[in-house]
């Protein structure tokens, strides 16, 4: 079900109750001093000061006090001492495949209710190969090989080329630069080796699906999730081997057109929406998420990945862009928060 224009949250908690709340805004701020000697996208997932401030201001309209809290080694102490009623979580964490789960785990350890998916889903969805295992029996997926070590390279010979080579456990298109497509197994191997050397991560090598790229925003909780919007990402000038790479995202105003709704038939959109909700439920998502799909030449959607902690930059995050015809950035942040509050209230004994 698509969210109607200018939707207002259902059954809001009483305003007086929320005005007494002190909430923590869990985040990781993007460093200002660059990444000399390291990949320039090392902190691509982290949020700018402007994004953190805009989310804080949106939440501040609903509650008594919003305190930005960095998700670093001081997080357990600051949460324990802060006497927070709630945490709004946009933190990416630090480390590798489990990093997004760590701030959520700290909240759970300390008994602080928080927005978004729990630590199991955050850890699962960041690892693309693990997420594929969960949804694979019920979703259409491009064939893929996980390359973690030298012994995995022979598996590349069984794929149909071209393929796209991506970090297995990164987000925000980290490591997906302008040349991630390989036309044969040796090229795919070289790309995997490049990713391992540069990012220290395993690679997921997927058969390239050469149709439209579509992303779907979801708001709410099972069984009442609803579609925020479906957005098609079209390359300017057309490109049969278009990849929504990091360079494209950084230069999105010149390099892509966003279509909301997508330029697809009604049956195709309905199938994509149905598949997005199915993935949301299979992966155990909560409150909000974004699902990425790619269509083949016959219009069949293939599930690519779940973003259980999608970005909320007011200018260029996909979830914000696909929902802007229905919700302002401020309203979107508030809706996510209120969905989480209702979910936590319903879960109490």
* Same domain membership, residue 219 and residue 176: no
* Same domain membership, residue 316 and residue 226: yes
State the pLDDT at residue 34.
63
Q: Tell me the mean pLDDT in the region 147-167.
A: 96
Is 227:218 a contact under the CB 8 Å cutoff? yes
Strand order across the 86-89 sheet: 65-70, 22-27, 86-89
- pLDDT band per the 50, 70, 90 thresholds, residue 344: very high
* Same domain membership, residue 89 and residue 131: no
- pLDDT band per the 50, 70, 90 thresholds, residue 1: very low
Q: Which residues pair with 58 in a beta bridge?
A: none
* Same domain membership, residue 109 and residue 60: yes
State the pLDDT at residue 94.
87
Q: Is residue 335 part of a domain?
A: no
User: Where does the chain show beta strands of DSSP type E?
Assistant: 22-27, 65-70, 86-89, 144-147, 163-167, 181-182, 203-207, 213-220, 226-235, 256-259, 287-295, 301-307
Is 234:259 a contact under the CB 8 Å cutoff? yes
Q: Is residue 329 part of a domain?
A: no
* Same domain membership, residue 216 and residue 203: no
Angle at 203 between CA 202 and CA 206, to 5 degrees: 155
Average pLDDT of the chain? 92
Number of Cβ atoms within 10 Å of the Cβ of 251: 11
For residue 201, how far is the Cα from the chain centroid? Answer: 19
* Distance between CA atoms of residues 221 and 281, nearest Å: 9
Q: Is residue 349 part of a domain?
A: no
State the pLDDT at residue 109.
97
* Distance between CA atoms of residues 202 and 192, nearest Å: 8
pLDDT higher than 50, residue 9: no
Is 164:180 a contact under the CB 8 Å cutoff? yes
Tell me which of 297 and 38 has the higher pLDDT. 297
Is 86:19 a contact under the CB 8 Å cutoff? no
* Same domain membership, residue 303 and residue 167: no
pLDDT higher than 70, residue 150: yes
Least trusted range by pLDDT, from 24-38, 100-114, 191-205, 242-256: 24-38
* Same domain membership, residue 222 and residue 202: no
| Domain with 31 in it | 15-115
pLDDT higher than 90, residue 38: no
Tell me which of 248 and 102 has the higher pLDDT. 102
* Same domain membership, residue 315 and residue 219: yes
- Domain of 94, CATH number, reads 3.40.50.20
State the pLDDT at residue 17.
87
Domains identified in the chain, total number: 3
* Same domain membership, residue 247 and residue 131: yes
Q: Tell me the mean pLDDT in the region 22-49.
A: 84
Q: Where is the domain boundary, 172, 190, 207? A: 207
Q: Where is the domain boundary, 180, 207, 234? A: 207
């Amino acid at each position: 079900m698509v969210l109607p224009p200018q939707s207002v949250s259902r059954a809001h908690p009483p305003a007086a109750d929320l005005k007494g709340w002190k909430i923590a805004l869990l985040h990781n701020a993007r460093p200002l001093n660059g990444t000399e000697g390291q990949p320039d996208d090392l902190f691509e997932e982290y949020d700018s000061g402007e994004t953190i401030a805009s989310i804080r201001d949106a939440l501040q309209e609903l509650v008594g006090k919003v305190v930005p809290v960095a998700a670093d080694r001081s997080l357990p102490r600051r949460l324990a001492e802060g006497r927070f009623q709630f945490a709004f979580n946009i933190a990416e964490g630090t480390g590798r495949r489990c990093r997004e789960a760590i701030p959520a785990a700290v909240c759970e350890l300390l008994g602080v209710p928080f927005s978004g998916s729990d630590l199991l889903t955050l850890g699962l969805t960041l690892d693309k190969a693990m997420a594929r295992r969960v949804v694979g029996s019920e979703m259409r997926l491009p064939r893929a090989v996980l390359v973690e070590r030298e012994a995995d390279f022979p598996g590349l010979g069984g794929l149909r080329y071209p393929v796209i080579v991506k970090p297995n456990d990164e987000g925000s298109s980290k490591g997906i630069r302008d040349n991630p497509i390989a036309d044969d197994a040796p090229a795919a191997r070289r790309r995997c080796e490049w990713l391992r050397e540069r990012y220290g991560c395993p690679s997921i090598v997927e058969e390239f699906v050469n149709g439209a790229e579509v992303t779907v925003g979801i708001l709410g909780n099972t069984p009442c999730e609803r579609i925020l919007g479906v957005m098609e990402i079209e390359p300017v000038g057309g490109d049969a081997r278009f990849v929504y790479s990091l360079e494209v995202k950084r230069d999105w105003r010149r390099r892509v057109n966003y279509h909301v709704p997508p330029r697809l038939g009604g049956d195709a959109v309905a199938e994509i929406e149905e598949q997005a909700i199915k993935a949301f439920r299979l992966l155990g998502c909560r409150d909000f998420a974004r699902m990425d799909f790619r269509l083949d030449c016959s219009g069949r959607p293939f599930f690519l990945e779940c973003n259980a902690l999608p970005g909320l930059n007011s200018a260029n995050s996909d979830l914000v862009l696909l929902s802007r015809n229905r919700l302002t950035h401020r309203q979107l942040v508030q809706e996510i928060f209120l969905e989480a509050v209702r979910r936590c209230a319903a879960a109490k004994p």
